Amino acid sequence: MAGDFDLLRPLYKMYMEQVPVMRERSRRWYKHNGTRFAETSYFYGSFEPVDYGCQRKPTEAPDPVSPYIKNHIQGGVELATIMLRDFQHTRNATLLAETVLPWCQSLLEFYDEHFPKYSNGTLFLQHAQSCETWPDCDNPAAQIAALIRITEGLTSIPRHLVPAEQAAFFARIAKSLPAIPLTAAKNGQPQISPCDGGFPSRHVNGENVETCKIVMLSRFVVLSVSLTRKVSPLQTLSGREYPFKIN
């Protein structure tokens, strides 16, 4: 955060004006509530046509045809993280009530109703996406880290600023989140995995090789004491399939 909070207001306004479109899209496409953020979209909320697919038949599945964004819904949690950081710095109650809480509510509703759950009630991010590198994987680390960061931020807001029903919803989502997945590096040491099951057999987008780890560590730092006892962030970066030198 550079401190230019006034410059963020037009950004929030643009996306908040898209919320009715995104909510209706969820109802028509997936038959449930919530908002799915389109990574390549116009300012009014619709997908960019090449990624969505041109000359689509009405009977075809509604998801975009581009493998890079078909399951790419991470933009919503990124914006939620920015909003929460804004509020944490400014303590702007109007921003919280009119922007932060509505955006996070609708975003978490999508995750809660779109993805299945394990028998113990834990959310299972099945057929999700780990940034743009692995477009079809389960429980991607970056999204889990973001959801943990968001729900921690929401549940730490003073109670008198959040309606009781909404606060209970945020607390329930926080308890339902899966753990950040781990795997073994080539040297046998534990590292954060891009998703469940370690590294998928192949990545699709070579321009974004393993950025899921960098995104998770740089944008959604949620390494608890118990997790850092198991895995080192430096090991996660240096243990990548395509590592770079860290001086």
Q: Could you read off the pLDDT of 101-127 as tens digits, one per residue?
A: 999 999 999 999 999 999 999 999 998
Cβ neighbors of 138 (< 8 A, separation 6 or more) are 124, 125, 126, 127, 128, 195, 196, 197
* pLDDT greater at residue 101 or residue 43: 101
Higher pLDDT, 221 or 183: 183
User: What pLDDT was estimated at residue 242?
Assistant: 55
pTM greater than 0.85: no
For 100, what's the count of Cα atoms within 13 Å in the CB-facing half-sphere? 26
Question: Average pLDDT for residues 8-16, to the nearest whole number?
Answer: 94
Query: Cα–chain-centroid distance for residue 185?
Result: 25
- 61 phi, psi to nearest 5 deg: -60, 145
* pLDDT above 90 for 226: no
The one-letter amino acid code at 96 reads L
Mean pLDDT of 198-202: 59
Calpha distance 2→5 (Å, rounded): 8
- More confident site: 246 or 33: 33
Q: Give the pLDDT of residue 109.
A: 97
Cα-based distances in Å from 141 to 50, 77, 137, 216, 218: 28, 13, 10, 7, 13
Q: Is the pLDDT of residue 129 over 90?
A: no
% the chain with pLDDT above 90 = 43
202, pLDDT greater than 80: no
Residue in 15, 155, 130 with CA at minimum distance from that of residue 74: 130
CA distance 166 to 158: 13
Q: Is the pLDDT of residue 178 over 90?
A: yes
Collapsing DSSP to helix, strand or coil, 46 comes out as: coil
Q: Which two tokens stand for residue 104?
A: 């996070």
Instruction: Enter the DSSP assignment of 68.
Output: T
pLDDT value at position 243? 53
- SS3 (DSSP) at 114: helix
Residue 80: is its pLDDT beyond 50? yes
Give the number of residues written for the chain: 247
Q: Which residue has the higher pLDDT, 104 or 211?
A: 104
Radius of gyration, alpha carbons of the chain:
18
pLDDT score of 70 = 82
More confident site: 36 or 166: 166
The pair of three-digit structure tokens given for residue 121, joined into one six-digit string: 């009630």
Pairing between β-strand 134-137 and β-strand 190-192 as defined by DSSP bridges: unpaired
Section 209-227 average pLDDT:
49
pLDDT band at 239 (very low <50, low <70, confident <90, very high): low
Query: 91 vs 41, which has greater pLDDT?
Result: 91
Residue type for position 51: D
pLDDT on residue 134: 75
Is there a contact between 227 and 180 (Cβ–Cβ < 8 Å)? yes
Residue 205: count of CB within 10 angstroms of its CB? 14
Task: Note the pLDDT of residue 218.
Answer: 45
